[in-house]
């Protein structure tokens, strides 16, 4: 692989709006422009065994919407492309967005056993923790979590929480609309 063309590259390649020209002339100029003059040669790539979260971080860090996947760092043989849409689809799946159940956004203590204790209470009430995601809270002693829980209702879920488990949002999700 020797280069990549993004939507932004194409927009920059269009004739400037500073000098008014006819659409016929603009079309002719654009059609005559070779890809090599538009493409980015300095590409960021990942290998097929790169963890998806590192690929997503690379895309965010470089502000790019598509990330080439090369067979190896030296060969630059294209084997795939990861796009923003791929990352969004994965995010939707990870959060269980399409599954019915109770969505609980909580802040809990960041200590050994805190999450296990919460999971045990959910299971003892007949619930199933379908998905869980965590990320740092403002305090280093706390974490934010998003749970998707099946087979318990919102009131039951609320009753399972301890005082130190702060509810950010708690709602029933019916699934996709």
Query: Does 21 share its domain with 59?
Result: yes
DSSP 56: H
Question: Which residue's entry shows tokens 């630059």?
Answer: 76
CATH number for the domain spanning 144: value is 3.30.70.260
Same domain, 78 and 100: no
* Greatest mean pLDDT among 27-36, 41-50, 59-68: 59-68
pLDDT at 7 over 90: no
Residues 101 and 136 grouped into a single domain: yes
Cβ-based neighbours of 120, under 8 Å, separated by 6 or more: none
Both structure tokens of 117: 């204790």
Cβ burial, residue 36 (10 Å; 0-12/13-18/19+)? exposed
Given 41, 58, 90, which residue is the final one in a domain? 90
pLDDT at 11 over 90: no
Rg (CA), the chain: 24
Helix spans in 23-167 (H): 23-31, 52-62, 84-94, 114-124, 154-160
* Domain span at 81: 7-90
Are the CB atoms for 143 and 134 separated by under 8 Å?
A: yes
Domain end marker among 90, 109, 142? 90
Whether 147 shows a pLDDT value over 90: the answer reads yes
Domain count, the chain: 2
For a pLDDT cut of 70, what percent of the chain falls above it?
Answer: 90
Asked whether residue 165 is assigned to any structural domain, the reply reads yes
Residues 100 and 127 in one domain: yes
- Looking at the fold, whether 72 and 138 belong to one and the same domain comes out as no
Same domain flag for 77 and 102: no
Residue 2 lies in a domain: no
> Do 66 and 82 touch, CB atoms closer than 8 A?
yes
Higher pLDDT, 98 or 134: 134
Supply the pLDDT for residue 19. 64
CATH number of the domain bearing residue 82: 3.10.580.10
């Amino acid at each position: 692989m020797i280069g990549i063309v993004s939507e932004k590259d194409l927009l920059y390649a269009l004739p400037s709006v500073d000098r008014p020209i006819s659409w016929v002339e603009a079309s002719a100029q654009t059609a005559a422009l070779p890809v090599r003059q538009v493409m980015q040669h300095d590409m960021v790539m990942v290998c097929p065994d790169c963890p998806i979260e590192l690929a997503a971080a690379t895309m965010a860090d470089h502000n790019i919407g598509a990330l080439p996947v090369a067979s190896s760092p030296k060969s630059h043989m294209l084997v795939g492309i990861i796009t923003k849409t791929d990352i969004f689809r994965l995010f939707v799946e990870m959060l269980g967005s399409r599954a019915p159940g109770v969505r609980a956004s909580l802040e809990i203590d960041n200590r050994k056993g805190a999450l296990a204790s919460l999971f045990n209470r959910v299971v003892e009430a007949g619930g199933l923790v379908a998905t869980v995601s965590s990320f740092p809270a403002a305090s280093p002693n706390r974490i934010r979590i998003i749970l998707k829980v099946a087979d318990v209702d919102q009131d039951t879920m609320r009753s399972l929480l301890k005082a130190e488990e702060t509810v950010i949002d708690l709602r029933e999700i019916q699934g996709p609309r």
